[in-house]
C-alpha cells in the first residue's frame, strides 16, 4: 500500500477538483439518507389514521392525503438533488482520474527516455509497454472509482449509522450485528487479492514480451520453421494467464454473495426485532420502514467495500511495478550542475581499454 503514496503529488496538482468532488459526494450521501425520516413519518401517520378512523376512513381522509403528497414531493425532490450531485461527483472525480492517468503516462514515458541502453537490455519491450498501459489503467481505477466509492462509503456509513442510533439504539445494535463478520471477511480475502493480482500482472507482462518477440522475429521463425513451437509457447503462456485470472476472480466472486447474504440477515433482524418493539409499544411501524430503508442504504457501501479493496490491492501491486521503473537510474548519470561544453578541443587517446558485456 505504501506504493500508492507516490500519487500524492498528482492529487495536490488537482486538489481543487478533488475538493469539489469530495463536497459533491458528501452532499449526494446526505440527500440519500434524509428521505428515511419522511418515510417513517408517512408510515406512522398512516398507522395512526388506521387506528383512529379505520382503513376506509383513512383512505378518504383529506389531511392524510395532503400529508402523504407533501412527503412524496419532498422525497422526490431529494432524489433529484441526489442524482444531480451524483452526476457532478462523477464529473469531477472520474475526470480527475483521467487527467492523472495522462500525467502518469507522460512521466513514465519521459523517464523511459532518460534511461540508458543497459536498462533496456535487462527489461523486455513487452514489460515496458505493459507497465505504461495495463498497470497505469489499474492505478486509474483506484484514482477514480475506488476513491470515489471510498469517500461515498465514508459519508454513507457515518450518516446512516448516526440516524439509526438516534432513532433506536437497541435495534441499531441488533441490525448491525453481522458487521464484524464483514470486516473479518474483507481482511482475510484482501491478502489473497493482492498476491493473485501481482501474479496476474506478472503473467500479463510475460505474454506481452512473448508477443513482441514473436512479431519482431517473425522472419527468423519462418526461416527455421519454428512456428509450431512458438505457437505452443503462446498457448502455454495464455493458459497460465487464464489460470491465474481464474484464481483471482474466484476470490473476487466471494465478496458480493457474502455481502448480500449478510445484508439480508440484517434486514430480517430489523423486521423481527422492530416488530417485537411495535407489539410491545416501544416502537412504531414507521421505525421498521425507516430501518429497512437504512439497511438498503448500507447495502451498496458494504457490498462495494470488497470491490474497493480489490481495486486498491490491484492498484498497489501495479504502482509498485511502475515505481520500480521510475526509481531506476542510468548507470552513467550527469550531475545536476553539469555544464555541457560549447566547443570540444584536444585529442582522444585510447590506451588499455577493455569491454565487459552483461
For residue 346, being part of any structural domain is answered with: no
Q: What whole-number distance in Å separates Cα of residue 299 and Cα of residue 312? A: 20
Residue 28 is predicted with a pLDDT of 93
C-alpha pair distances (Å), 37 with each of 71, 167, 288, 298: 10, 10, 12, 16
Residue 352 falls inside a structural domain: no
Contact 217, 336 (CB under 8 A): no
Note the maximum CA span of the chain.
112
Q: What is the pTM of this model?
A: 0.70
Element (H, E) at 116: none
182 vs 189: CA distance, rounded Å: 11
At 299 the pLDDT is 76
pLDDT of residue 287: 87
Number of domains in the chain: 1
Which range marks the domain in which residue 189 is found? Answer: 2-326
Residues of the chain with pLDDT under 70: 1, 50-61, 183, 186-187, 190-191, 194, 255-256, 303, 333-338, 340-341, 344, 358
- Domain assignment present for residue 57? The answer is yes
Evaluate whether residue 100 is within a structural domain: yes
Q: What are the Cα distances from residue 212, in Å, to 117, 202, 204, 205?
A: 18, 15, 12, 11
CATH for 68: 1.20.1560.10
pLDDT score recorded for residue 335:
66
> Does residue 292 lie within any of the structural domains?
yes
Task: Render the burial of 28-39: b for 16+ CB within 10 Å, e for the rest.
Answer: bbbbbbbbbbbb
CA–CA distance, 235 with 277 (Å, rounded to integer): 63
Place of cell 438533488: 81
In this structure, is residue 42 part of a structural domain? yes
Amino acid at each position: 500500500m505504501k506504493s500508492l503514496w507516490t500519487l500524492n503529488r498528482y492529487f495536490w496538482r488537482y486538489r481543487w477538483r478533488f475538493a469539489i468532488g469530495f463536497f459533491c459526494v458528501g452532499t449526494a450521501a446526505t440527500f440519500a439518507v434524509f428521505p428515511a425520516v419522511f418515510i417513517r413519518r408517512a408510515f406512522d401517520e398512516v398507522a395512526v389514521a388506521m387506528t383512529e378512523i379505520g382503513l376506509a376512513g383513512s383512505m378518504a381522509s383529506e389531511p392524510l392525503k395532503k400529508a402523504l403528497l407533501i412527503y412524496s414531493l419532498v422525497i422526490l425532490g431529494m432524489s433529484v438533488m441526489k442524482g444531480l450531485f451524483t452526476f457532478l461527483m462523477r464529473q469531477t472525480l472520474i475526470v480527475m482520474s483521467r487527467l492523472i492517468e495522462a500525467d502518469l503516462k507522460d512521466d513514465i514515458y519521459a523517464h523511459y527516455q532518460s534511461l540508458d541502453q543497459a536498462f533496456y537490455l535487462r527489461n523486455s519491450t513487452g514489460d515496458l509497454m505493459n507497465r505504461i498501459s495495463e498497470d497505469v489503467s489499474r492505478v486509474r481505477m483506484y484514482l477514480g472509482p475506488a476513491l470515489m466509492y471510498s469517500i461515498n462509503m465514508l459519508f454513507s456509513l457515518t450518516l446512516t449509522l448516526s440516524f439509526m442510533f438516534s432513532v433506536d439504539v437497541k435495534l441499531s445494535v441488533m441490525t448491525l450485528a453481522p458487521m464484524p463478520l464483514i470486516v473479518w471477511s474483507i481482511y482475510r480475502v484482501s491478502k489473497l487479492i493482492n498476491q493473485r493480482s501481482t501474479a496476474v500482472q506478472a503473467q500479463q507482462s510475460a505474454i506481452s514480451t512473448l508477443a513482441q518477440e514473436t512479431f519482431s522475429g517473425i522472419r527468423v521463425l519462418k526461416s527455421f520453421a519454428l512456428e509450431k513451437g512458438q505457437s505452443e509457447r503462446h498457448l502455454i503462456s495464455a493458459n497460465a494467464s487464464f489460470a491465474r485470472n481464474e484464481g483471482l476472480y474466484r476470490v473476487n466472486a466471494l465478496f458480493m454473495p457474502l455481502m448480500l447474504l449478510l445484508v439480508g440477515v440484517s434486514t430480517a433482524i430489523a423486521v423481527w426485532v422492530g416488530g417485537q418493539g411495535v407489539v410491545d409499544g416501544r416502537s412504531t411501524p414507521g421505525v421498521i420502514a425507516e430501518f429497512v430503508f437504512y439497511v438498503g442504504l448500507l447495502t451498496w457501501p458494504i457490498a462495494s467495500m470488497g470491490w474497493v479493496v480489490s481495486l486498491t490491492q490491484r492498484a498497489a501491486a501495479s504502482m509498485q511495478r511502475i515505481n520500480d521503473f521510475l526509481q531506476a537510474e542510468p548507470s552513467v548519470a550527469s550531475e545536476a550542475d553539469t555544464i555541457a561544453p560549447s566547443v570540444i578541443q584536444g585529442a582522444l587517446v585510447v590506451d588499455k581499454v577493455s569491454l565487459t558485456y552483461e
